[in-house]
Chains A and B, each alone.
Chain A
Amino acid sequence: MATELSPAPSGLRQRLWAFYDSDLIWSFRHSPMAILSAALLAIVAFTSLFAAWLMPQNPFDITQLYLDKANLPPIWIEGGQMPYLLGTDLQGRDILSAIVYGSRISLIIGVASVALSMTIGVLVGLMAGYVGGALDNFLMRIGDAVMSIPTLLVAILISAIFRGMLPVDYRDAAAPLILVVALSLTSWVVYARMIRAATMVEAGKEYVLAARIIKVPRRRIILHHILPNVLTAALVTATLNLGLAVLAEATLSFLGVGMPSAQPSLGTLIRIGNQFFFSGTWWIVLFPALQLTLIILAVNLLGDWLRDALNPKLK
């Protein structure tokens, strides 16, 4: 590691060494799958962050698309041209650029929806667990209702309702927001149940009793005393759920109720490619599908590793 060799003050150096030597990192260094997945995700994150400088074309900018360069095959097949490494689609859009820009949209929506659903779930769980009684019952029954309907179906309906309420002109612009809300409203329950249980345990502990005795306001007890002690579990679940969120976004976009074709996510690209696939231009659909699968697989493998690494039972 470069940071190890740099002449840093010994305090920082020791802290870095302690971090490097910790159980979590030890387990990371000894799991080739985790390293591979992390590397893959780092590459995806890096390329999509700097897409504008790395990619030959901005696929959203119509002035950069040339129709005479349409339907080119990948570079290693006869007829392929530089700089279109993975070929182009019907409108002359470079597949590689489209994938990288599409991954960016997919990842942003995935991360945002996980963050929002975790926030909703943690707040609901804290309230239900600390306040208890009728409020607890009410919130948890809503959670049961959400859980007892297939997630995909609810997400489609929520996004359909929001789209129906908006004027046509705003629908495409609001699509990412609608997706984030639809995905969050269907996936907060896992966090809420977990945080509720953890909060109930914490609420009985002495530090909470002590805070109550000196009349710390209830909101402060919940947010400053209990929340920090229950948050770790929610963060692990969030990692595990990121894969699901990316998958759900792609599925909605594939079904045509997600991102519009003007701002394609990976799911939209697959839907577009799927329409042309009998004309022999398989690369339009295959590469986005591979990229999507790799991202989800990497996130899942990383989440799997993290759960095992933090599980005290397996040590």
Chain B
Amino acid sequence: MLLLIIKRMANAIFVILAVSLLAFTIFKFLGDPVQLMLNPQATQQERDLLTERLGLNDPVPVQFAKFVFNAARGEFGMSYRNQMPVMEVIAERFPATFELVLVSSIMALVIGLPLGVFAAIRGGTVMARVFHLISMIGVSVPAFVIGIMLILVFSIELKWLPAFGRGKVVDLGFWTTGFLTPSGRAALVMPSISLALFQISFIMRLVTAEMLEVLRTDFIRFAKARGLKARAIYFRHGLRNCMMPVVTMTGMLIGDLIAFTLVTEIVFQWPGMGFLFVQSVQYVDIPVMAAYLMIVCCIFITINLIVDLIYVVVDPRVDQLVRGGGNGH
């Protein structure tokens, strides 16, 4: 157990360092900060002074070390575009993205799981085939296409839901929430559906595949022979035994959801971190890009780490497998 945790931690640290190297590369190669921060009439002396002050004369490894050290304390400098500390800008956008991802992942699980079980139970029937096709369409339609279609139908034609923005939000001081107002909730509907649709289809396909494997096993046959109710067989015996891959995938899916908010937030002009990031790419606002990359990766890696640990707690075989591998068998 301990060995596994250490291994995973080492892996996570390696990944974070690799990502910070990538973020650092952006700083080095995208634009010259001295040029961006001074006005064009600045003298060579002023330039040299700023270069020295920004530490750009240090050897590259020293610059990298400084960058990692500052990033660890949450200091990414000032946004070039709106002259605010990067962390403040991102903290302001974080609640919008968080609420969107939260609603979407709940939606993906609550809808995807039962549909997957249903498709597995009814395997081979016309209904199951239709479900399979629908889930195939679900993983094939690009997220932005779904978003655009939803806006076209429900905002422009029917005028039921707002096409962009978060609606009215309530400011709690440290957090702004759209859950408390009717317009805030209405604004959440379409973005979260368009974000969740891929994940719903994906979870559904995964659960169906796993369930079909489990339903073939002997203990399900025994459960049927014991005369248990269908619901007990499928949910308590069947679904429980295919939760492992679902747990793993859910972790990865939340990470993917965060990444895909980029697209959804652009379509719905949702004032979250993804919108901020795409804008910062277009305006070459490097500190924001680097900070967003680091933050999202840290969230992603933390989720994966937690999932790995849950995996070990739930399934002791994993631990033995790693130990076996660790001893060189």
Report chain B residues within 8 Å CB of A34: none
* Shortest Cβ gap from B20 to chain A (Å): 11
Query: Which of B76-84, B182-190, B296-304 binds A?
Result: B296-304
What count of chain A residues pass the 8 Å CB interface test?
41
Q: How far is the CA of A20 from the CA of B297 in the complex (A)?
A: 50
Report chain A residues within 8 Å CB of B1: none
Most A CB within 10 A of own CB, among B29, B140, B256, B263: B140
* Shortest Cβ gap from B258 to chain A (Å): 7
| Residue interface bits B254-296, CB-to-A below 8 A is 1, else 0 | 0110111011001100000000001001101000010001001
Query: Which of B58-66, B141-149, B172-180, B314-322 binds A?
Result: B141-149
Nearest B residue to A156, CB-CB: B281
Nearest A residue to B259, CB-CB: A150
CB under 8 Å from chain A, chain B span 159-176: 163
Query: Which of B10-18, B99-107, B228-236 binds A?
Result: B10-18
Q: How far is the CA of A246 from the CA of B30 in the complex (A)?
A: 27
Q: A120 in the interface, Cβ–Cβ < 8 Å?
A: no
* Shortest Cβ gap from A205 to chain B (Å): 21
A270, B18: Cβ atoms closer than 8 Å: no
* Shortest Cβ gap from A73 to chain B (Å): 15
Nearest A residue to B292, CB-CB: A153
* Shortest Cβ gap from B67 to chain A (Å): 16
Report chain B residues within 8 Å CB of A149: 15, 19, 297, 300
Q: A300 in the interface, Cβ–Cβ < 8 Å?
A: yes
Q: How far is the CA of A256 from the CA of B26 in the complex (A)?
A: 18
Report chain B residues within 8 Å CB of A256: 278, 281-282
Q: A296 in the interface, Cβ–Cβ < 8 Å?
A: yes
Report chain B residues within 8 Å CB of A81: none
Q: How far is the CA of A247 from the CA of B260 in the complex (A)?
A: 13
A274, B148: Cβ atoms closer than 8 Å: yes
Report chain A residues within 8 Å CB of B263: 152, 251, 254-255
Nearest B residue to A298, CB-CB: B140
Report chain A residues within 8 Å CB of B9: none
Query: Which of A93-101, A192-200, A285-293 binds B?
Result: A285-293
B22, A157: Cβ atoms closer than 8 Å: yes
| Residue interface bits B119-153, CB-to-A below 8 A is 1, else 0 | 00000000000000100110111111100110110
Q: How far is the CA of A153 from the CA of B296 in the complex (A)?
A: 9
Evaluate whether A144 and B31 lie within 8 angstroms (CB atoms) in the complex, with A293-B145, A304-B136 already known. Answer: no
Q: A277 in the interface, Cβ–Cβ < 8 Å?
A: yes
The contact size tier of chain B is 35 or more
Q: A250 in the interface, Cβ–Cβ < 8 Å?
A: yes
* Residue in contact with B301 in the complex, picked from A148, A255, A285, A286, CB distance below 8 Å: A148
Q: How far is the CA of A161 from the CA of B293 in the complex (A)?
A: 13
Nearest A residue to B157, CB-CB: A282
Evaluate whether A289 and B297 lie within 8 angstroms (CB atoms) in the complex, with A161-B29, A243-B140 already known. Answer: no
Evaluate whether A144 and B141 lie within 8 angstroms (CB atoms) in the complex, with A152-B260, A153-B293, A160-B289 already known. Answer: no
Report chain A residues within 8 Å CB of B262: 152-153, 156, 255
Q: B310 in the interface, Cβ–Cβ < 8 Å?
A: no
CB under 8 Å from chain B, chain A span 157-180: 157, 160-161, 164-165
Nearest B residue to A274, CB-CB: B148
Q: How far is the CA of A290 from the CA of B175 in the complex (A)?
A: 39
Q: B54 in the interface, Cβ–Cβ < 8 Å?
A: no
B26, A157: Cβ atoms closer than 8 Å: yes
Nearest B residue to A293, CB-CB: B141
A153, B259: Cβ atoms closer than 8 Å: yes
A282, B152: Cβ atoms closer than 8 Å: yes
B144, A150: Cβ atoms closer than 8 Å: no
B152, A148: Cβ atoms closer than 8 Å: no
Report chain B residues within 8 Å CB of A153: 259, 262, 293, 296-297
B156, A278: Cβ atoms closer than 8 Å: yes
B266, A296: Cβ atoms closer than 8 Å: no
* Shortest Cβ gap from A98 to chain B (Å): 17
A297, B137: Cβ atoms closer than 8 Å: yes
Q: A141 in the interface, Cβ–Cβ < 8 Å?
A: yes
Q: B25 in the interface, Cβ–Cβ < 8 Å?
A: yes
Q: A189 in the interface, Cβ–Cβ < 8 Å?
A: no
* Residue in contact with B293 in the complex, picked from A142, A157, A243, A301, CB distance below 8 Å: A157
Report chain A residues within 8 Å CB of B256: 150
Q: A118 in the interface, Cβ–Cβ < 8 Å?
A: no
B278, A250: Cβ atoms closer than 8 Å: no
Evaluate whether A145 and B14 lie within 8 angstroms (CB atoms) in the complex, with A153-B296, A161-B25, A274-B267 already known. Answer: yes
* Shortest Cβ gap from B154 to chain A (Å): 13
Nearest A residue to B137, CB-CB: A297
Q: How far is the CA of A153 from the CA of B301 in the complex (A)?
A: 14
A-B contacts, 12 of them at CB < 8 A, read A141-B11, A145-B19, A149-B19, A152-B262, A157-B289, A157-B293, A164-B26, A164-B29, A247-B142, A270-B148, A277-B148, A297-B140
By a beta-carbon cutoff of 8 Å, the part of chain A in contact with chain B is 33, 141-142, 144-145, 148-154, 156-157, 160-161, 164-165, 243, 247, 250-251, 254-257, 270, 274, 277-278, 282, 285-286, 289, 292-293, 296-297, 300-301, 304
- Sample of 6 more A-B contacts, CB < 8 Å, known A161-B30, A164-B26, A254-B266: A145-B19, A153-B296, A161-B29, A254-B263, A255-B263, A274-B144
| Interface pairs A-B: 9 shortest CB-CB | A150-B259, A164-B30, A297-B140, A145-B18, A289-B145, A296-B140, A145-B15, A152-B259, A148-B15
